[in-house]
Amino acid sequence: MEIKRKNKTQLLSKIATNDRYGENSPYFDGWKAYDNNPFHPTQNPNGVIQMGLAENKLCFDLIKKWIMENPDASICTAGGVDKFKDVAIFQDYHGLKEFREAIAKFMGRVGGNKVTFDASRIVMSSGATGANETIMFCLVNPGDAFLVPSPYYPGFARDLRWRTGLEIVPVDCKSSNNFRITRAAMEDAYEKAQKWNLNVKGIIIANPSNPLGTTLDIETMRSLVAFVNEKNIHLVCDEIYAATVFDSPRFVSVAEVIQDMDCCNRDLIHIVYSLSKDMGIPGFRVGIVYSFNDDVMLCARKMSSFGLVSSQTQYLLASMLSDDGFVGNFLRESSKRLAKRHYVFTKGLEQVGISCLTSNAGLFFWMDMRLLLKEQSFEGEIELWRVILNELKLNVSPGSSFQCSEPGWFRVCFANMDDETVEVALNRIRAFVLNRENQESNRSKRCWRKKHLRLSFSSTRLYDETIMSPCMISPHSPLVRAKT
Partner 1 sequence: MAIEIEKPSSVRLSKVAISKTHGEDSPYFAGWKAYDENPYDEIHNQSGVIQMGLAENQVSFDLLEKYLEEHHEVSSWGKGAPGFRENALFQDYHGLKSFRQAMANFMEQIRGGKAKFDPDRIVLTAGATAANELLTFILADPGDALLVPTPYYPGFDRDLRWRTGVKIVPIHCNSSNNFQITPEALEAAYQSAESMDLKVRGILITNPSNPLGSTIQSSVLNDILDFAAHKNIHLVSDEIYSGSTFSPSEFVSIAEILRNRNYKDAERVHIVYSLSKDLGLPGFRVGTIYSYNDDVVTTARRMSSFTLISSQTQHLLACMLSNHEFTQNYIKTNRERLNKRYDMIIQGLKKAGIECLKGNAGLFCWMNLSPLLNEPTRQGELELWNIILNQVKLNISPGSSCHCSEPGWFRVCFANMSEQTLRVALQRIHKFMEQRKVCSVNQ
Chain residues 361-420 in contact with partner 1, contact rule CB under 8 A: none
Complex with partner 1: residue 104 or 425, whichever CB lies closer: 104
Q: Nearest distance from residue 255's CB to partner 1, in Å?
A: 12
Q: Tell me whether residue 82 or residue 423 sits nearer to partner 1 (CB atom).
A: 82
The yes or no reply on residue 2 touching partner 1 (CB under 8 A) is yes
Q: Which span (4-12, 327-335, 346-354, 377-385) binds partner 1, by CB under 8 A?
A: 4-12
The phi-psi region of residue 285 (left if phi > 0; otherwise alpha if psi is between -120 and 50; otherwise beta) is: left
The answer to whether 153 is a known catalytic residue is yes
Please return the burial class of 148, using the count of CB atoms within 10 Å of its CB with bins 0-12, 13-18 and 19+: buried
- Indicate which single residue of 49, 51, 58, 75 sits in contact with partner 1 (rule: CB under 8 A): 75
Contact map string, positions 227 to 266, toward partner 1, x by CB under 8 A: -----xxx------------------------------xx
Is 62 one of the binding residues for partner 1 (CB under 8 A)?
no
Residues 6 or more apart whose Cβ sits within 8 Å of residue 119:
97, 100, 101, 103, 104
Distances (CA, A) of 345 to 41, 116, 141, 364, 371: 18, 35, 44, 10, 19
What does the DSSP 8-state code read for residue 38?
B
Distance of closest approach, residue 312 Cβ to partner 1, in angstroms:
5
CB contact at 8 A, 286 and 320? no
Residue 470 contacts residue 24 (beta carbons within 8 Å)? yes
If the CB atoms of residues 149 and 307 are measured against partner 1, the closer one turns out to be 307
Among 216, 252, 338, 480, binds partner 1 (CB under 8 A): 480
Report the residue number, 5 or 461, with the smaller CB distance to partner 1. 5
* Candidate segments 36-44, 127-135, 206-214, 348-356, binder of partner 1 by CB under 8 A: 127-135
**Phi, psi for 191 (deg, rounded to 5):** -65, -40
CA distance 6 to 442: 60
Return the number of the residue (21 or 463) whose C-beta is nearest partner 1. Answer: 21
- Of 70-78, 146-154, 403-411, 463-471, the segment contacting partner 1 by CB under 8 A is 70-78
| Least Cβ distance, residue 41 to partner 1 (angstroms) | 17
**CB crowding 220-236: b at 16 or more within 10 Å, else e:** bbebbbebbbebebbbb
Closest contact distance (angstroms) between CB of 263 and partner 1 is: 13
| Binding positions for partner 1, 90-109, rule CB under 8 A | 90-91
Catalytic-labelled residue, pool 29, 144, 238, 278: 238
Residue 451 as a binder of partner 1 (CB under 8 A): the answer is no
Looking at the Cβ atoms of 41 and 249, the one nearer to partner 1 is 41
Closest CA to 273 of 258, 287, 254, 259: 287
Spatial neighbors of 66 by CB under 8 A, at least 6 apart, are 320, 323, 326
Residues 259-288 within binding reach of partner 1 (CB under 8 A):
265-268, 276, 280-285
192 in contact with partner 1 (CB under 8 A):
no
Angstrom distance (rounded) from CA 392 to CA 405: 25
Please calculate the CA angle 10-163-157 and round it to the nearest 5 degrees: 120
Q: Considering the complex, what minimum distance in angstroms separates the CB of residue 477 from partner 1?
A: 5
- From 203, 277, 278, 290, the catalytic residue: 277
Cβ proximity of 289 and 130 under 8 Å = no
Catalytic residue list: 153, 238, 240, 277
